[in-house]
Amino acid sequence: MQSLQQQPVDLVERLKASYPALSEGHKRVAEYLLDNIEIAAFLTAGRLGATAGVSESTVVRFAITLGYQGWPDLQRVLAGMVRARLDTVTRLRISAGGGQQDTVRDVLTTDAENLERTMSGLDPGVFSQVVDALAVARDIYVLGLRSAQSLAVFLTFYLQTIGKSARLVSQGTRSAFEELDAAGAEDVVLAISFPRYSSMTVRAFQYARDLGAKTIALTDSAFSPLAQVADLTLVARTSINSFIESFVAPLSIINAIITAIGRQDEQATLKSLEKFEEICAKNRVYWPDDRP
């Protein structure tokens, strides 16, 4: 058997390839493991099972199904993958609990952890491919519905500001399918969705793929329904102990995308920004507007 300590990315590929055929219990383990590698590497099979909502024996059988001798064998691979990049916040979560923190400290701490986990799990090669695809696209369709629409609006605004032909696909007088109908092989559709995933976003994204457009997903997991459709996937962590999503990490990814595209063709970006500033000044867009 090929050593995953020598090629750690193979573990993720095995999980993704095996996922459709896994039992429901094994899928729970796979989903938890991929989303929480830094934590799972230090859990016993029993504790991992309890956290994922399955039995200890299910965790052991899961490891064997993937080709390992048992959970300790798989756990050693996980530990090798994360040992060098385990952050202090995750160590704190692994350790025994503590007293309740006030709400603002708890939320800010979780946001910081989401940023750290997103950064440590980001594939620079995939990020570069995303930037390259967006930079040369004829049209960029940004698809984000419900709460994710806030991210889609932000991304579309700044893509347009730096001179890209970007269109926001929203829930308006026309359906998302109508908005995407002109998309083709020279275009990119970037879809954004996090749990609970918008079914309309998933179906419209599938429609865009069927039209031949390049598909890029910004989502929370390689097991996300968007990731199953996408040519390229960027994963941003959004977990928070609340009834809302934490959009700090996905917004940071969006900031990085816009900045990278702008730097790729600096002269064109400067020209677009100069035109933007000229329009703003002429039409007194920002305060103070210097009215006579």
**pLDDT range class, residue 183, cuts 50, 70, 90:** very high
Give the other-Cβ count within 10 Å of 170's Cβ.
17
Averaged pLDDT, 113-124? 89
User: pTM to 2 decimals?
Assistant: 0.69
Asked whether residue 32 is assigned to any structural domain, the reply reads yes
Terminus-to-terminus CA distance in the chain, angstroms?
Answer: 78
How does the average pLDDT of the chain come out, rounded? 84
Helix, strand and coil in the chain, % to nearest 5: 60, 10, 35
CATH number at residue 51: 1.10.10.10
Query: Looking at the domain assignment, is residue 102 inside a domain?
Result: no
Closest CA to 66 of 7, 11, 23, 27: 11
> What are the angstrom distances between the C-alpha of 11 and each of 3, 19, 245?
10, 12, 28
**pLDDT tens, residue by residue, 186-245:** 999 999 998 878 899 999 999 999 999 999 999 988 778 898 899 999 999 887 766 677
| Co-location of 17 and 76 in the same domain | yes
- Are 81 and 192 in the same domain? no
**C-alpha separations of 190 from 83, 107, 183, 200 in Å:** 33, 28, 12, 14
Q: Which stretch of 16-30, 31-45, 271-285 has the lowest confidence by average pLDDT? A: 31-45
**In this structure, are 168 and 64 located in the same domain?**
no
237 in a domain, yes or no? yes
Domain membership flag for residue 16: yes
Please enumerate in sequence order all residues whose Cβ is within 8 A of that of 197, keeping only pairs 6 or more positions apart, or say none.
219, 224, 225, 226
Does the pLDDT value for residue 281 go beyond 50? yes
Same domain, 254 and 195: yes
Tokens 């910081």 correspond to what residue? 112
Cβ–Cβ under 8 Å, residues 107 and 240: yes
pLDDT on residue 10: 63
Asked whether residue 175 carries a pLDDT value surpassing 60, the answer given is yes
Q: In the structure encoding, which two tokens stand for residue 236, read together?
A: 């941003």
Q: Which pLDDT tens digit goes with each residue over 231-276?
A: 999 999 887 766 677 899 999 999 999 999 999 988 888 998 999 9
Give me the phi and psi of 111, to 5 degrees please.
Answer: -60, -45
Indicate whether 52 and 153 sit together in one domain. no
Angle at CA 226, nearest 5°, toward 189 and 236?
95
Given a cut of 90, whether residue 12 has pLDDT beyond it is no
| Amino acid (1-letter code) at residue 148 | A
Instruction: Clarify whether residues 133 and 230 are in a common domain.
Output: yes
Rounded Cα gap, residues 205 and 37, in angstroms: 28
Q: Which domain holds residue 185?
A: 124-281
pLDDT of the residue at 7: 40
| Residue 210, domain CATH | 3.40.50.10490
DSSP 143: E
How sure is the predictor about 40, in pLDDT bands with cuts at 50, 70 and 90? confident
Residues 138 and 254 reside in one and the same domain: yes
- Best CA proximity match to 216, nearest among 159, 146, 147, 273: 159
Residue ending a domain, choose from 55, 85, 115: 85
pLDDT at 67: 87
Domain count, the chain: 2
107's CB contacts (< 8 A; 6+ apart) are: 240, 242, 246
41 with 79: CB under 8 angstroms? yes
Indicate whether 80 belongs to any domain: yes
SS3 label, residue 142:
strand
103-117 pLDDT, tens digit per residue, is 787 788 888 988 988
Residue-wise pLDDT tens digits, 53-77: 999 999 999 999 988 899 988 888 8
For residues 143 and 90, give the distance between their C-alpha atoms in angstroms, rounded to a whole number: 32
Q: Is residue 99 part of a domain?
A: no
pLDDT of residue 251: 97
Say how far apart CA 231 and CA 235 lie, in whole Å: 13
Taking each helix axis from N to C end, the angle separating 71-82 and 56-65, rounded to the nearest 10 degrees, works out to 80
